[in-house]
Amino acid sequence: MAGKRAAKQKDDGREPAADDAAVVVLPPDCRLAAQAALKAELLGVLEKGAIVVLDGSQVERADTAALQLLVLFRRELQACGGTLDWRGASETLNEAAGLLGLAQILELPAAGLA
């Protein structure tokens, strides 16, 4: 929901990356039960040549399923010529991605950085 709102903000021009980018905000509880909704949202922003900005700064809980979803999203986004950018990533998200060896694949920024 926060993500939808953020996605509509893409014209407000506040952030350079957001000029023509769709923004998806990852929910605080990003575990398995939340992923049907997240997947639907990601599918919505998946289009040719798009720049998708993920905001992971609010993530308080994450699991392997979440990271898998992001990995597969990035893979498909890249396959159709789009790019993934991060607006932020919480420590939790970073720690989980690091532990699973997926931080590089996801090109996650360190916590706090955008």
Positions that interact with another protein (CB under 8 A): 31-33, 35-36, 38-39, 42-43, 46, 62-65, 68-69, 71-73, 75-76, 96, 99-102, 105
CB closer to another protein, 42 vs 89: 42
Q: Helix, strand or coil for residue 28?
A: coil
Least spacing, CB of residue 98 vs another protein, in Å: 8
CB closer to another protein, 64 vs 81: 64
CB closer to another protein, 7 vs 42: 42
Least spacing, CB of residue 42 vs another protein, in Å: 7
Least spacing, CB of residue 90 vs another protein, in Å: 15
Phi-psi region of 43 (alpha: psi -120 to 50; beta: other; left: phi over 0): alpha
Structure tokens at 96: 């989980």
Phi-psi region of 55 (alpha: psi -120 to 50; beta: other; left: phi over 0): beta
Q: Are 18 and 53 in contact (CB under 8 A)?
A: yes
CB closer to another protein, 18 vs 69: 69
Least spacing, CB of residue 36 vs another protein, in Å: 7
Q: Helix, strand or coil for residue 80?
A: coil
- The DSSP bridge pattern shows strands 51-56 and 29-30 to be unpaired
